[in-house]
Amino acid sequence: MKILKYLLCFFLLGYGLAVQAQIPKAKSGTFALTNASIETITNGIITNGTVIITGGKISALGSDAKIPEGAEIIDCSGLWIYPGMIDSGSRLGLFEFGQASQASDVSELGDVVPQMRAITAVNPNSVSIPLTRVSGVTTALTVPEGSLFSGTASLINLHGYTPDQMYAGFDAVVLNYPRTGRRGQFDRRTDEEIQKTADKEIARLNEVWEKATQYHKLDSATKGKMQYYPEMQALLPVVRGTMTLMIDVNASKDIESALKWVAGKKIKKVVFSGVAEGWRVADAIASARIPVLTGPVLNLPARQYDAYDKAYANAGLMKKAGVKVAIKTDSRTMNNRNLPYNAGFAAAYGMGREEALKAITIVPAEIFGVDDKLGSVEQGKSATLVVCDGDLLETKTQVKHVFIDGWQMPMVSRQTLLYEEFLNRNPGLTKEK
Amino acid sequence: MQTIKKIFQIIFFSALVHSGFAQEQKGNLLIRNGNVITVTKGNLEATDILIKEGKITRIGKNIQAPQDYRVLDATGLFVMPGIIDAHSHAGIDAINEATTPVSAEVNVGDVLNPFQVSLYRALAGGVTTIHAMHGSANAIGGQCETIKLRYGVKDPEALRMEGAPRTIKFALGENPTRVHGGGGIVPRTRMGVEFVIRQAFSQAQEYNTLWEEYNQQKQQKGFRGTPPPYSTRLETLSDILKGDIIIHCHSYRADELQMMLKVCKDFGIKNIVFQHVNEGFKVAPELAEYGAMASVFSDWWAYKLEVYYSTAYNAAILTKNGVTTSINSDDGELMRHLYHEAAKTQKYGGLSENEALALITINPAKQLGIDKRVGSIEISKEADLAVFKNHPLSIYTVPMFTIVDGVVRFDREKDPDDMRMYIDPKLAVDEGYSDGAKHHADNCMGDTGKNSMRLFEQNLDEK
């Protein structure tokens, strides 16, 4: 009888473990990733190297890094280590699926709503988040969309149970720069109508900015005793140059207009996003020293008469002109996991592999001011890493491990679970007992 | 009298010119020393391909080019069969006849447009044949047209792939229920979709019987009856029942796939290809058993509820369960890098190189019923080929040449900035910036909007 009881206990314990094994969780601790090729991004390639992860950071790396006692050793023979990729344009956490307003928190009402903060609406349990990180994209800028000042974007790491745990230390007020030109061949407005609309929209932008500068002066004069004025309060750090203004702008004329506007208003921290026609005015962007977050690379040319590969070549052409270029997916179909392929196409169409790789790692980290933590494999930086079996940009490459801030991610997403369940479905055609 | 003669002359000459244009151009070409990926018969290193009048006549080493043959040096390059896109809306000027749940009488072949620059852009991605499809607004949509990307021809007729089997679009799920059910017309639910399709087939059966009876009675001496009313819609539907038209059925969810399989079984329909079929992986054994085929996206999902439970492993699961599977675009941008989309099946499910390439060549050819003519590099097949800088499945590859019927239609080294064929004299030089990422002009729900501005500005995620 006693034996039976023991057996039962044993069985239940085993059962409990089995259930637990089916719900994989992230794991923290001390890790030693050994025998790897390490593409550091900032300091070349280390062959047969080791990365030590302690307390969420890269505590040591190199071919002679000492393995601390008690470290979990992960043999990375034949594998490559890269920094986690950063997608500098996404809807991650804000958007679940399309064609249902209830499933999207991307766009708030109003044309001047910088006080709408993406980070407050990020759903840490969105299905897209594990799906994106198991492909090695560990960090993403999540961006509210809309008209004019559509909100405040936030950088998030793709791991955590609350938005606070995910927050990666960067925010930017989003300005969707007025589209001053014709909007494609189906735009049948006359030139006068287009000009009139453009003038009106620019006037609106100037009016808002003027108000924000006045608010800043009054706020300084009253030592912060101004009455509640949420949108102006949200613009304050941008006016004061402590927060970045992210200007979404694409057509070449609009880019030129935006460059003039930024110079005229003497705005200190500016980054351009989109910049689909940057190649047409690359020199001007370069001399203004405004960095860009461009993408998607896998996109059509913006005009019928443009060469078929202009969107593929855009990032490389801007880089060649001296612009600081980060690449983003800006995916509408929640395929932020395709970031390495956007970089790969840019690489193949003129940017070169090395620069393309930087454009999804160290360059966005620098633009967001988080390069002390992210963007390269360096001692002291956050252990936000990808371990894969080949070139990170190559399509067939399999990602084997992902670490975010030293946490080892479970390598599952709903899409991998469906694969495991349905590859050899049971029951198959007939349901035998 | 003189005038009549002149008119006759004009008609005669214009007919002559017309037939001249309509004739497809077929090239004589030698492709020398390429890494040839045949897809059906293995890979051949440093091999020549001889093309005579648009067809592959020899594959081997050290082939000498006959006089007047163009020679293309493919040393170090990769030659594969031209890519076939089994789901596109390029090359046509209208997509949806959205006014009725059953529109089998219409045919996108009537609105071919050879001037669309999207055809050239697809060529620049190694695509040679596309299935130009009716949209997904109706449970039973219009007939589709298989066209070859002979970009440069100005006669719409010259785009057709002559002799390709007839195909028709069906659509299940959210699109037909939204378009019609939303306006108070059945179907509003998936139950309604099944009913609409069964009703249409039943009416076609009755129609068929009426005509068969009439045709029999007509043989009898002294028969004086009148023929039954003629209906293009019911003619088309009864051609489906006779097996003369392949159904290409827009579908997503596993339940609706099983519903459609049952409908096909009940009406004796064998030729069915499911399009998109994001949940095909859930019913892969059922699809395989029936012989139904699947044409899928590599990784698109989440653009609406019925694709929320998708997996990028779909193509691999279907393939490994024995379903003839292809990867399609349904999109003017995606269409340009189907080779890259196919490569994703190596990542998601570990398909072999050849299995991956079959998804965009021989398999879509089977789905369109043109696999005897295109889809692989074999002697006597049509010379539709794509030549790449690196292996076509590598992210770093670049399509260098695309050849249709032995004619080089895309050459990266000789690729001017502006490849439009027709410039509207009234069109302003600056047509303006249009955001390619935020709308797709050619997709399944095109033309269902109230006006074109709505269609092109807001028709965002409606695959």
Residues of B in contact with A333 (CB under 8 A): 300-303, 461
- Residue B459 pLDDT greater than 50, yes or no: no
DSSP state of B217: H
- pLDDT tens figures, B131-165: 999 999 999 999 999 999 999 999 999 999 999 99
Question: Quick check: B260 pLDDT over 70?
Answer: yes
Banded pLDDT at A270 (limits 50, 70, 90): very high
Report the gap between the CA of B434 and the closest CA in chain A (Å).
Answer: 4
DSSP labels for B177-214?
HHHTGGGT-S-SSHHHHHHHHHHHHHHHHHHHHHHHHH
pLDDT of residue B7: 59
The helix (run of H) or strand (run of E) holding residue B246 is strand B245-251
In whole angstroms, give the CA distance from residue B55 to residue B67. Answer: 17
Q: Which of the pair, B31 or B10, is modelled with greater confidence?
A: B31
Give me the pLDDT at residue A19, please. Answer: 47
pLDDT level of residue B17 (50, 70, 90 thresholds): very low
How far, in Å, are A120, A181, A198, A254, B430 from residue A191 at the CA level? 41, 9, 10, 15, 11
| For helices A252-265 and A191-221, angle between their N-to-C axes, nearest 10 degrees | 30
Among A97, A311, A429, the residue with its CB nearest the CB of B308 is: A97
Please tell me which residue of chain B has the smallest CA distance to A399.
B347
DSSP A378-404: -TTSB--EEEESS-TTSTTPPEEEEEE
pLDDT tens column, A285-303: 999 999 999 999 999 999 9
What is the distance in angstroms between the Cα of B177 and the nearest Cα belonging to chain A?
14
Q: Which B residues 315-354 touch A at CB under 8 Å?
A: 316-317, 320, 332-333, 336-337, 340, 343-344, 346-349
Determine the distance in angstroms separating the CA of B64 from the nearest CA of chain A, rounded to an integer: 34
Condensed to tens digits (0 to 9), the pLDDT of residues A129-142 reads: 999 999 999 999 99
pLDDT at A81 (0 to 100): 98
Q: Return the SS3 of B31.
A: strand
pLDDT for res A202: 97
- Amino acid (one-letter) located at A160: G
The dihedral over CA atoms of A380, A386, A389, A392, expressed in degrees to the nearest 10, equals -100
Query: B260: distance to nearest CA of chain A, Å?
Result: 17
Size of interface A-B (CB pairs under 8 A): 201
Residues whose CB falls within 8 Å of the CB of residue B198, separated by 6 or more in sequence, listed in order = B263, B266
Contact B122, B85 (CB under 8 A): yes
Report d(CA A231, CA A149) in Å as an integer: 9
CB-CB under 8 Å, B415 with A333: no
**Distance from B221 to chain A by nearest Cα, in Å?**
55
Enumerate the H helices of A178-309 as residue ranges. Answer: 191-221, 230-239, 252-265, 282-288
Mean of pLDDT over chain A: 94
**What does the pLDDT read at residue B367?**
98
- When pLDDT is cut at 50, 70 and 90, the band that residue B457 belongs to is very low
What is the per-residue pLDDT across B214-224, written as a single tens digit (0 to 9) for each? 999 999 999 99
What does the pLDDT look like over A172-188, one tens digit per residue?
999 999 998 888 777 88
pLDDT by residue (tens digit) across B173-208?
999 999 999 999 999 999 999 999 999 999 999 999
Instruction: Residue A338: list chain B partners with CB under 8 A.
Output: 299
Give the DSSP letter string of B367-436. Answer: HTT-TTTSSS--TTSB--EEEESS-TTSTT--EEEEEETTEEEEEGGG--S---S---TTS-S------T
Which of A396, A400, A426 to probe by mutation at the B interface, max B CB count within 10 Å?
A: A396
Q: Are B154 and B21 in contact (CB under 8 A)?
A: yes
Q: What integer pLDDT is reported at residue B456 of this predicted model?
A: 33
Where is B141: in which H helix or E strand? strand B140-148
Q: Quick check: B256 contacting A, CB < 8 Å?
A: no
Q: Is the pLDDT at B80 greater than 60, yes or no?
A: yes
- Indicate if the pLDDT at residue B252 is higher than 80: yes
CA angle A379, A383, A389 (to 5 degrees): 105
Neighbouring C-alpha atoms within 13 Å toward the C-beta of B368: 35
Q: Which of B305, B420, B431 lies at the smallest CB-CB distance from A97?
A: B305
* Interchain CB distance below 8 Å, A398 and B347: yes
Rounded CA-CA distance A164/A154 in Å is 11
Tell me the percentage of chain A whose pLDDT exceeds 70: 95
Q: What percent of chain B has pLDDT over 70?
A: 88
Cβ <8 Å between A298 and B304: no
Provide the pLDDT for residue B193. 98
Taking an 8 Å cut-off on Cβ atoms, the answer to whether A99 and B307 are in contact is no
Cβ contact (<8 Å) for B313 and A415?
Answer: yes
Asked whether the beta carbons of residue B347 and residue A396 sit closer than 8 angstroms, the reply is yes
Residues of chain B contacting residue A143, judged by C-beta atoms under 8 Å apart: none
Q: Which residue of B has its CA nearest to A415?
A: B311
Chain A contacts of B311, Cβ < 8 Å?
414-416, 418-419, 422
CB atoms within 10 A of CB B150: 21
What is residue B356's predicted lDDT score, i.e. its pLDDT?
Answer: 98
Beta carbons of A116 and A150 less than 8 angstroms apart = yes
Enumerate the residues of chain B whose CB falls inside 8 A of the CB of residue A300: 121, 332-333, 336, 436
Q: Does the beta carbon of B285 lie under 8 angstroms from any beta carbon of chain A?
A: yes
The neighbouring-strand residues paired with B166 are B245
Of the pLDDT bands very low, low, confident and very high (cuts 50, 70, 90), residue A332 is: confident
Nearest CB neighbour to A429, from listed B286, B332, B343: B286
**How confident is the model at residue A188, as a pLDDT?**
85
**Contact call for B281 and A418, based on CB within 8 A:** yes
Taking the C-alpha atoms of residue A352 and residue A334, their distance in angstroms, rounded to an integer, is 26
A401: nearest Cα among A32, A64, A23, A127: A32
**R_g of chain A computed on alpha carbons:** 24
Q: Is A15 helix (H, G, I), strand (E, B) or coil?
A: helix
How far apart are the C-alpha atoms of B9 and B16, rounded to whole Å? 10
> Model confidence over B386-441: pLDDT tens digits?
999 999 999 999 999 999 999 999 999 999 988 988 656 666 556 678 775 444 43
Q: Which one is predicted more confidently, A187 or B60?
A: B60
User: Using CB atoms, which residue from B284, B304, B312 is nearest to A415?
Assistant: B312
What is the structure's pLDDT at B128? 98
pLDDT of residue A6: 62
